[in-house]
């Protein structure tokens, strides 16, 4: 069964750091890009960032709201992706979802979508 | 940044109704548009990708259309399991979501 399980959430004070983990199973982790999406309490979904597979350089992209504070890494040998969150703000309080980012070629163009989601881990930033 | 605007923000419908949700991008995104369904306390679920491709396992009553800046998600005959919040997401440049449309009884 294809599965993603997030861990590492919790209560943290503003300005501190936290590292989330996403453990994958049921598929060849190294073949896929991985993304993080968050959802503040009672709010909509916000794309946070993603990391490409090593075949595409393992490079990263981030939303403007977290760029410079958050970083994503991956350990393909352990099928784990990490979200390192530094200088946390109360606005970062949310459920954080890990997702598998997949692509498909349709009529000669690459289309990207998130087809597998974890159940999420809750991060609360508060003093 | 590309902004995504959904309408309506919420709607009330009955089982068997035809429901249409629209999504507009602030610039052309060709067909780089995905739709997700989310139920309370659960992770989102992919319904449609590339504007009109149905994800495997998703019922055929769901369909997507559009290109450029204007898109729609149609539920041809609303079922009890379809009451949820629906989000569009552009994949043209990074991955902005719309604000969501809540479908209520």
Rounded CA separation B43/A22 (Å): 14
β partners of residue B62: B75
Q: Is A61 on the interface with B (CB under 8 A)?
A: yes
**Mean pLDDT value across residues B10-38:** 97
Rounded CA separation B90/A21 (Å): 25
Kindly determine whether residue A45 and residue B45, on different chains, have CB atoms separated by under 8 Å: no
Quickly state the pLDDT bin for B105 (edges 50, 70, 90).
confident
Return the sign of the alpha-carbon dihedral for residues B6, B11, B14, B18.
Answer: negative
Q: Is the pLDDT of residue B94 over 90?
A: no
Q: How many residues does chain A have?
A: 127
Degrees, nearest 5: CA angle A73-A79-A80? 40
Among B44, B87, B99, the residue with its CB nearest the CB of A117 is B44
Within a 10 A sphere around the Cβ of A34, how many other Cβ atoms? 25
Test mutation, B49, B64, B84, B98, chain A, max A CBs within 10 A:
B49
pLDDT digits (tens, 9 = 90+) for A12-25: 999 999 999 999 99
Question: How far A45 CA lies from chain B's nearest CA (Å)?
Answer: 6
pLDDT of the residue at A91: 98
Question: How far B78 CA lies from chain A's nearest CA (Å)?
Answer: 23
Among B31, B32, B46, the residue with its CB nearest the CB of A114 is B46
What does each C-alpha distance from A26 to A30, A56, B30, B81 come to in angstroms?
12, 22, 33, 27
Q: Is B86 on the interface with A (CB under 8 A)?
A: no
pLDDT of the residue at B1: 86
Mean pLDDT of all residues in chain B?
97
* Encoded tokens for A9: 């959430």
With b for 16 or more beta-carbon neighbours within 10 A and e for fewer, the B33-56 pattern comes to bbbbbbeeeebbbbbbbbbbebbe
Kindly determine whether residue B95 and residue A118, on different chains, have CB atoms separated by under 8 Å: no
What residues contact A90, with CB distance under 8 A and at least 6 apart?
Answer: A14, A125, A126
Kindly determine whether residue B89 and residue A47, on different chains, have CB atoms separated by under 8 Å: yes
Q: Is the pLDDT of residue B65 over 90?
A: yes
**Mean pLDDT value across residues A43-55:** 97
Percent of chain B as helix, strand, coil, to the nearest 5:
5, 50, 50
**Mean pLDDT value across residues A28-54:** 97
Q: Percent of chain B at pLDDT above 90?
A: 95
């Amino acid at each position: 069964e294809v599965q993603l399980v997030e861990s590492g959430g919790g209560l943290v004070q503003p300005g501190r750091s936290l590292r989330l983990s996403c453990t994958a199973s049921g598929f060849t982790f190294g073949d896929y890009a991985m993304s993080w999406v968050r959802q503040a309490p009672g709010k909509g979904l916000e794309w946070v960032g993603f990391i490409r597979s090593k075949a595409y350089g393992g490079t990263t992209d981030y939303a403007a709201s977290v760029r410079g504070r958050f970083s994503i890494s991956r350990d393909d040998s352990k099928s784990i992706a990490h979200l390192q969150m530094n200088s946390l703000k109360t606005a970062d309080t949310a459920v954080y979802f890990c997702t598998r980012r997949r692509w498909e070629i349709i009529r000669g163009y690459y289309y990207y979508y998130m087809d597998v989601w974890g159940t999420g881990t809750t991060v609360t930033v508060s003093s | 940044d590309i902004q995504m605007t959904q309408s309506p923000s919420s709607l009330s419908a009955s089982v068997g109704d035809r429901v249409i949700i629209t999504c507009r991008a602030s610039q052309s995104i060709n067909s780089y548009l995905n739709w997700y369904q989310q139920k309370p306390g659960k992770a989102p679920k992919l319904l449609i990708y590339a504007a009109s491709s149905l994800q495997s396992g998703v019922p055929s009553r769901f369909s997507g259309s559009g290109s450029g800046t204007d898109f729609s998600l149609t539920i041809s005959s609303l079922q009890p399991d379809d009451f949820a919040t629906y989000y569009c997401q552009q994949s043209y440049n990074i991955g902005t979501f719309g604000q969501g449309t809540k479908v209520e009884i």
